[in-house]
Amino acid sequence: ERWVPAYMSGLVTTLLLVVISTVLGAILSIPVAWGRMSKNRVAQVVPYGYVYFFRGTPLLAQTFLIYYGL
């Protein structure tokens, strides 16, 4: 009983982060997909580099880059 409020607060925070990241990911995926399908070479390369970077680096390294900056 003592820790239930803290656990519930953590659960709410976790669910909020999941919802926010899902919505932002869905919104970001549309222009990235359009860019990848474009016939314009520049419009293809930028999303390709974005996807290549985020799929090719470990999540911990990405977190450090975001937290500590470039």
What integer best gives the mean pLDDT of the chain? 92
Structure tokens at 39: 């016939």
Q: What pLDDT was estimated at residue 65?
A: 87
Write down the residue that tokens 């239930």 correspond to: 4
The mean per-residue pLDDT over the stretch 46-64 comes to: 90
Q: Go through the chain and tell me how many residues it has.
A: 70
| pTM of the predicted model as reported, rounded to 2 decimal places | 0.67
Q: How far, in Å, are 18, 54, 68 from residue 57 at the CA level? A: 21, 6, 16
